[in-house]
Amino acid sequence: MLTVPVRQLGESERRAVERLLDHDPFAGAQVAERIAARGLSWWRAEGRILGYGARRNLESLCWLGGNLTPVLATDAAVAAFADLLAGEERLCSSIVGRADAVLGLWDRLSDTWGPARDVRPNQPLLAADALPSVPADPEVRRVRSGEVDRLFPAAVAMYTEEVGVSPLAEDAGRSYRRRVNDLVRSGRAYARFVDGKVVFKAELAVVTKRTAQVQGVWVAPEWRGRGIATAAMAAVVRDALLRVAPTVSLYVNDFNLPARRVYERCGFQPIGTLATVLF
């Protein structure tokens, strides 16, 4: 029987939530960005944030929106979050976060929320806080607002390859196109163009005061194996560190050895392990 109930947190507890997120600035980056932008009021945040712990001693968090993300979730918190969520319809498209918490949640939720489309149990979380020692590709730059039409097909190809479903399947891709537009408009989308086509792309998908998190790294299939990725990523990391945040972070599938070698050359160091459950 649980002695500490899970509760939905509100704006009055924002400082406590922000203090907790500061203890895990990389795995909790997406949640921190959302709260910094929209606060904890569920009607503004487009999601709920659940807390575990005594009212004056918040121990763990769980974001429930398009994704389900536990942050600093202890074993007791995982059990408590799962007990609550098992009684609700699954609305999220994935569970993502520190591997122990994600896999613990999935072990308890799989009977009611399953089956999953894919479970990725070992995704190294990496970070860099120094400029890369390898040369940066001078042709990699921020995408301009008039280039969204050129970037969008590459973004769709990356998403489909990485996630396993097309972003065009839902609402004909309108929401995904808005997301790409937002990244370009905010100066967070990078690409290298050759003859008007994207041969490399990446985005700063999450930005907080502590880190810029890179996602969507993609090399056009016909350009793979030519060695362009290291210099291209070095350009992204260099710009992000000089212009955006004091660190750059990302997570990668453990089986993607070519990408892991690229990130290592660019100065990324392992700082933990994430896991993702995809629906």
Please determine, for residue 161, whether its predicted confidence score (pLDDT) is greater than 60.
yes
The pLDDT assigned to 46 comes to 77
The pLDDT assigned to 1 comes to 47
**pLDDT class of 4 with cuts at 50, 70, 90:** low
Task: Please give the average per-residue pLDDT across 77-87, as a whole number.
Answer: 95
The pLDDT assigned to 230 comes to 98
Please determine, for residue 270, whether its predicted confidence score (pLDDT) is greater than 70.
yes
DSSP per-residue string spanning 13-72: GHHHHHHHHHTSTTTTHHHHHHHHHH-S-HHHHTSEEEEEEETTEEEEEEEESSEEEEES
**Looking at 163-268, which runs of residues are DSSP E strands?**
189-194, 197-207, 212-219, 248-251
Say what percent of the chain tops pLDDT 90. 89
Please determine, for residue 69, whether its predicted confidence score (pLDDT) is greater than 60.
yes
The pLDDT assigned to 114 comes to 85
CB 199 within 8 A of CB 219: yes
pLDDT tens-digit profile of 119-140? 999 999 999 999 999 999 999 9
Place of tokens 């995809």: 278
The pLDDT assigned to 47 comes to 86
**pLDDT class of 170 with cuts at 50, 70, 90:** confident
| 237/266 Cα distance (integer angstroms) | 8
Q: Which two tokens stand for residue 102?
A: 């994600």
Please determine, for residue 87, whether its predicted confidence score (pLDDT) is greater than 50.
yes
Task: Please give the average per-residue pLDDT across 216-240, as a whole number.
Answer: 97
- Closest by CA to 237, choosing from 128, 110, 113, is 128
- Whether the model clears a pTM of 0.85, i.e. scores above it, the answer is yes
Across all residues in the chain, what is the average pLDDT?
A: 94
β 212-219/248-251 pair status: parallel
Give the list of residues 6+ apart from residue 25 with CB closer than 8 angstroms, or none.
Answer: 32, 208, 210, 211
Bridge partners, residue 71, by sequence:
61
Task: Please give the average per-residue pLDDT across 232-243, as a whole number.
Answer: 98
| 188/243 Cα distance (integer angstroms) | 11
Please determine, for residue 145, whether its predicted confidence score (pLDDT) is greater than 70.
yes
Cα dist. 225→148, 221, 222, 228, 258 in Å?
26, 9, 8, 8, 9
Task: Please give the average per-residue pLDDT across 99-121, as a whole number.
Answer: 96
The pLDDT assigned to 56 comes to 79
Please determine, for residue 83, whether its predicted confidence score (pLDDT) is greater than 90.
yes
The pLDDT assigned to 3 comes to 55
pLDDT tens-digit profile of 28-44? 999 999 999 988 876 66
The pLDDT assigned to 55 comes to 75
